[in-house]
Amino acid sequence: MKSIVILISGRGSNMQAILEADLPVRVAAVISNKPDAAGLEIARRHGVPTQVVNHRDYDDREAFDKALAAGIDTFSPDLVVLAGFMRILTTGFVHDYNGRLINIHPSLLPAFSGLNTHVRALAEGVKIHGCTAHFVTPSLDKGPIISQAAVPVLPGDTEDTLAERVLEQEHIIYPQAIRWFAEGRLSITRNGNVILQNQKSAEIALRSPWEAQ
């Protein structure tokens, strides 16, 4: 069975969705860069070993990333899963985990890369927003896209209501992306696009929260 290490910085709701999704993976550890991340307690409750690599203990990004990699590598994971991990990683780190490092981003990439995606989506007046599971490459939020889910932006939405609608979808598509990885079904083309092998029609059906309302 493939093993994964999950990196968090805070609440850990995506991590929790992964832990509770009954995936064909072993979660070897959850590592946080913040000692007080709420997700650490959730991980412990699920019986998952936790580790803290506090970025404040290191002089620069290189030193922190080196310590983080050392922590990760003690578990020899097949996949490293960023789940609300709020540190920019160095190019060297990303290269070392090439093809086995994924992230969930709260927008329909390539729109709204970076921070404060929901506020920016509201400010632009977009009518459709969403989330993206993607492989991580050195350029921020630009890696090969594994899957996406769209949600409507509704009249009267605030940052919080929109974030909540998007988060619900994150909790669906991120575990699914990990399942696909674990099943060995994801490959990246030379152009940097992801192909899902043996894709069933149900897996490409557009998830439509419109129908649920």
Active site residue 105: yes
**Tokens 């729109």 sit at which residue?**
111
Count of chain residues binding ligand GRF (CB under 6 A):
13
Residue 143 sits in the site that holds ligand GRF (CB under 6 A):
no
b (16+ CB within 10 A) / e for 137-168: beeebebbbbbbbbbbbeeebeeeebbebbbb
Q: Which is nearer to ligand GRF, 43 or 104 (CB)?
A: 104
Q: Which of 46, 105, 118, 171 is catalytic?
A: 105
Calculate the CA 40 to chain-centre distance.
16
Residue 84 sits in the site that holds ligand GRF (CB under 6 A):
yes
Closest distance between ligand GRF and the C-beta of residue 53, in Å? 17
Residue 13 sits in the site that holds ligand GRF (CB under 6 A):
yes
- Window of 10-18, 44-52, 93-101, 140-148 that interacts with ligand GRF by CB under 6 A: 10-18
- Among the listed residues 106, 143, 144, 175, the single contact to ligand GRF using CB under 6 A: 106
| 197: three-class secondary structure by DSSP | coil
- Among the listed residues 12, 77, 130, 175, the single contact to ligand GRF using CB under 6 A: 12
> Rounded to the nearest 5 degrees, what angle is found at the Cα of 33, between the Cα atoms of 32 and 37?
55
Q: Which is nearer to ligand GRF, 66 or 142 (CB)?
A: 142
CA distances from 117 to 2, 89, 162, 166, 186 (A): 32, 19, 10, 11, 27
Q: Which two tokens stand for residue 29?
A: 């550890």
Q: Name the residues annotated as catalytic.
A: 105
Residues that bind ligand GRF (CB under 6 A): 8, 10-14, 83-84, 104-106, 167, 170
